[in-house]
Chains A and B, each alone.
Chain A
Amino acid sequence: MPQIKTVVGRRSFLKSTAMAGGGMMLGFSWLASCQPLSEEEVLAMPDVWFDINSYLKIGDNGVVSILTPNPEFGQNIRTSMPMLIAEELDMDWQKIVVEQAPYHPEKYGFQFTGGSSGIRTRWESLRMVGATARYMLRQAAAQTWGVPLEEVSTDAGTLYHQASGKSAHYGEMASAAADIPVPEEVKLKEISEFKIVGKSHKNVDGKNIVTGKPMFGMDYKEEGMLIAMLEHPPAFGLTLKAVDDSAVRAMPGVVDVVTVRCYPESYEKASFDVNAFPETVAIVGRSTWEVMQAKKKLQVSWEPIVSRTEFVTNFGGVKEAVSIPAGLESTEGHRAAMEALAAKPGKVVRRDGNPEAAFKKAAKVIERTYSAPFLAHNCMEPLNAFAHVSGDKARIAAPIQIPAFVIPALSASLGVPAENISMELTRMGGGFGRKAYAHYVVEAALISQKVDAPVKLIYTREDDMTNGVYRPAYQATYRAALDENNNLIALHIKAGGVPESPLFANRFPAGAIDNYMAEEWKIDSNITIGAFRAPRSNFIAGAEQSFLDELAEEMGKDPIAFRLDLLKRAKENPVGETNEYEADRLIGVLELVRDKSGWGDKKGNRGVSAYFCHQTYAANVLDIRVEDGKPIVEKVYCAIDCGVVVNPDAARNMAEGAVTDGIGNALFGEMPFREGAPVKNNFHNYRMIRMNEAPKDIEVHFVENEVNPTGMGEPPFPPVFGALSNALYQATGKRHYHQPFLGEEQVIG
């Protein structure tokens, strides 16, 4: 690893205390204070902390506190990010305590949890934090001992000068180190030198989780805090007309009933300001149950929305017009509209060779259409947020994936300057994309402002499930042209959805086929959608990998060998110059899963699938049997290439979870609509995978390499859909084109 400039993250090294060189006390945030320490832990705590940089405090006894920047929703970055810092600090992992950093972009950069981007984007900068601190400690020791810097070495939190036999733990040099100027550049370790990264470390929050310590947004509590719940329209396409709160105001525990309007007319929305119901009614009271009871009695009338166009600044900073039609939509209506658009020419996104001519001369054309419904995220922790707006200041504590993205909406809705908004990032009880759309934080803040009190807004499960920001409904038609020798000569994909297309025109198998065309279409809708674990990939991977399976069968080829042939072509002589994947790495995971699963030797009902998204490559082989119409997944083999695996057991956990989640959504996941209303509203009718339906065994293997690490939250999820459908075909002789595979009859085969 070359020298790297520290200047990139210079703002990360702002000293957060004025007491330069002196000590500072550990700040008492709710997140720290709600987790009482055991007597042992208290004794192990230092008397004084020295602030080395915004991520690191070193105690006088050598204990190191790491403030981890990105919010946690279960992908275990509260362990793996501190591991990166500790590695370069050369610290004893046992003497590290982890704190959650609050929202503070000047100190902690882009605190973004989503897009499987955490480790990928922090890989260098967090290691630099540790390496810089280690340099400053060594420099402090060199000056104190009067020896050359080069002769000061470190090991597990202790500084050594071999020639003189001097040594000191980091705590003893922390005070002096805090005065050392931040170096212009530092050297990072070679991967071969790693002692912490690459070895499994237990979740730093494990003990708190198994003993039920409060840590989630839902657990947040303050003196004098009121509870609020919202009533939103029962259907998309409706908005607030009038409220009759007379019966409710007299109910026990009820403090107030207020209407809240997020996003004022003048506010220019960005792509994460998604909210189907900008105007809602809030009931505010003393306790959750009392508010729940009052909510049942609230009388609200609703009226149809009018069609409108919103201008939304997308993730890339471009302002786009989004058309929101009036009307009450239904799943049947969506299906009919999708069929109609699929029959018309779409917008051509990529065209290689001459696909029309190839299809014309084809000896055989295979065409298959795949579809999938809207899905609700169903994080186990329903949406919630604490807010206390007082004068021109707002204080927030919430489960939120991308705090920076809610600041503009909060500021505009409250009339509070952005710099006066502080935010604690609580642990999230699941996110999956849903908690990136933080309208609930804006709502909580508006309620607090109106009632002039600290408020925790809680969504009931029903509110959470029927509020929108769903995974869109998708459809894709794949067509393949085969010549008289059964060679694949052209591929045509036409895909679309309500209201977005799932197409990735430049991913495999683009680049592997001479004649290729990808088209897309979309249908406007007033049902709100958003990122859901591996957006778009979570549908298109299953469609593509099912189609390739059927194609391989038609061509008389082994499904893995067929994919490898295509990938070999894409690697050696790629078609086009805009391909977004590395054929070699996709080959790597396919070969690994082939070898680990004993593909070819082992018989049975197995399906294979491989996919690339979010810079990570994943392949699955899935073994299944069907008993009385019930699919039983006996074994799943996963092969993953995410570069350097930072925390192997935690990475395996992510893959196991993604596989199980994928099987559940493929078999059962579905949010239908009738007259604008979500048909399902709780777990009695929204079927989630349960333990008896989960795979009996999951084996996860990683490709070993020294590529910079990429994410694990999403990539292991999309390929499962294809592996499952291909295995189901082997087990039942029936291809499954439409999710959920279990369908209305609730049986397979």
Chain B
Amino acid sequence: MEFLCKNSFSSTYLPFNMATIDLHVNGKKHQVAVDPNTPLLWVLRDHIGLAGTKYGCGVAQCGACTVHLDGEAMRSCVLPVSAAADKKITTIEGLSEHGEHPVQKAWLEHDVAQCGYCQSGQIMQAAALLKNNANPTDEEIETAMQGNICRCGTYTRIKAAIKTAASLG
């Protein structure tokens, strides 16, 4: 069964519920052989080996799994991988090459994280917000970020970091 994870495997020999799907993740091409209903989250984590995108709820209620699909924030835990085929997927690992995206820099400046588990989702959500709205108001930030839960309660720092990121442009 190991072959199910191999990217180069020919679709001819796939079990009935499998499909080969082409994905563009962080500028790299990947071909995966999976059940097309598999949420993108698990394809990223289990098959492509990118663990930065987190599992928190599986029902699009906590935002820990947020990625960008053609630049828009998406909850990858409910997005079938088939719907992401041939689209540009960006995960936390691909947001910038060395963590120098303004949102990442602002997160470090404000030392936002406590446990850190939700933060990649928070950062991806914030980066998508700033892409569409370079200078959001407090209310716009709250609206954009209210799908992302942080049990540690770092919201005040997240908000401050988003404002700093906006100023870093």
Contacts and interface: CB of A to CB of B under 8 A. Distances in A.
B23 interface: no
Contacts of B46: 227, 287-289
A219 B111 CA distance: 22
A381 B149 CA distance: 12
A253 B157 contact: no
Contacts of B1: 253, 255, 286
B19 to A, nearest CB: 12
B4 A286 contact: yes
A164 interface: no
A460 B41 CA distance: 14
B154 A656 contact: yes
Contact of B114 (A74, A215, A221, A382): A74
Nearest to A293: B35
A212 B93 contact: yes
A357 interface: no
B115 A429 contact: yes
A661 interface: yes
B39 A289 contact: yes
A656 B156 contact: yes
Q: How large is the interface on A (under 10, 10 to 19, 20 to 34, 35 or more residues)?
A: 35 or more
Interface residues of B, number: 68
Interface string A64-97: 0000000001111000000000000000000000
Contact of B149 (A288, A380, A458, A654): A380
Nearest to A657: B153
Contacts of B169: none
Interface in B73-115: 91-93, 95-96, 98-99, 104, 107-108, 111, 113-115
A335 to B, nearest CB: 27
B92 A212 contact: yes
B52 A213 contact: yes
B25 interface: no
B142 interface: yes
Contacts of A460: 58
A691 interface: yes
Nearest to B62: A683
Given A212-B91, A656-B156, A682-B57, A252 B17 contact: yes
B152 A657 contact: yes
A290 B156 contact: no
A219 B93 CA distance: 14
Nearest to B116: A209
Given A287-B46, A682-B59, A429 B117 contact: yes
A656 B110 CA distance: 13
Contacts, number: 208
Contact of B116 (A200, A205, A658): A205
Contacts of A698: 156
B159 to A, nearest CB: 7
B153 A210 contact: no
> Does more than half of chain A's interface fall in helix, strand or loop, or is it mixed?
loop
A602 interface: no
Contacts of A683: 56-57, 59, 61-62, 149
Given A206-B111, A216-B117, A691 B59 contact: no
Given A287-B47, A427-B116, A429-B117, A661 B151 contact: yes
B21 interface: no
Contacts of A360: none
A510 B82 CA distance: 64
B125 to A, nearest CB: 10
Given A211-B92, A683-B62, A380 B115 contact: yes
Nearest to A460: B58
A212 B51 contact: yes
A654 B114 contact: yes
A649 B111 contact: yes
Contacts of B152: 74, 380, 430, 657, 661
A212 B120 contact: yes
Contacts of B115: 73-74, 379-381, 427-431
B69 interface: no
Contact of A380 (B51, B104, B117, B155): B117
B113 A289 contact: no
A689 interface: yes
A253 B4 contact: yes
B154 A288 contact: no
A461 B58 contact: yes
A444 interface: no
Interface in A268-307: 286-290, 292-293
B58 A212 contact: no
Contact of A210 (B53, B99, B150): B99
Nearest to B15: A252
A659 interface: yes
Interface string B1-39: 110110000000001011000000000000000110011
A694 B156 contact: yes
B167 interface: no
Contacts of A658: 153
A694 B155 CA distance: 7
Nearest to B103: A210
B108 A206 contact: yes
A255 B147 CA distance: 36
A694 B153 contact: yes
A207 interface: yes
28 contacts: A74-B116, A75-B114, A200-B111, A202-B111, A206-B107, A207-B108, A210-B107, A211-B98, A212-B50, A214-B51, A219-B51, A221-B51, A255-B1, A380-B54, A380-B64, A380-B149, A427-B116, A428-B115, A649-B111, A661-B152, A682-B58, A683-B57, A683-B59, A688-B62, A689-B155, A691-B159, A692-B145, A692-B146
Interface of A: 38, 73-76, 200, 202-203, 205-207, 209-216, 218-219, 221, 227, 252-253, 255, 286-290, 292-293, 378-382, 427-432, 458, 460-461, 649-650, 653-654, 656-661, 664, 682-684, 688-692, 694-698
9 residue pairs, one from A and one from B, having the closest CB atoms: A212-B52, A429-B117, A660-B153, A74-B115, A212-B92, A74-B114, A657-B153, A683-B61, A694-B155
Interface of B: 1-2, 4-5, 15, 17-18, 34-35, 38-39, 42, 45-47, 49-59, 61-62, 64, 91-93, 95-96, 98-99, 104, 107-108, 111, 113-120, 123, 138, 141-143, 145-159
Given A429-B54, A461-B57, A661-B152, 19 more contacts: A203-B113, A206-B113, A210-B113, A210-B120, A216-B117, A252-B18, A252-B35, A287-B47, A288-B45, A290-B35, A292-B58, A380-B150, A429-B116, A653-B114, A657-B153, A664-B153, A682-B58, A688-B62, A691-B155
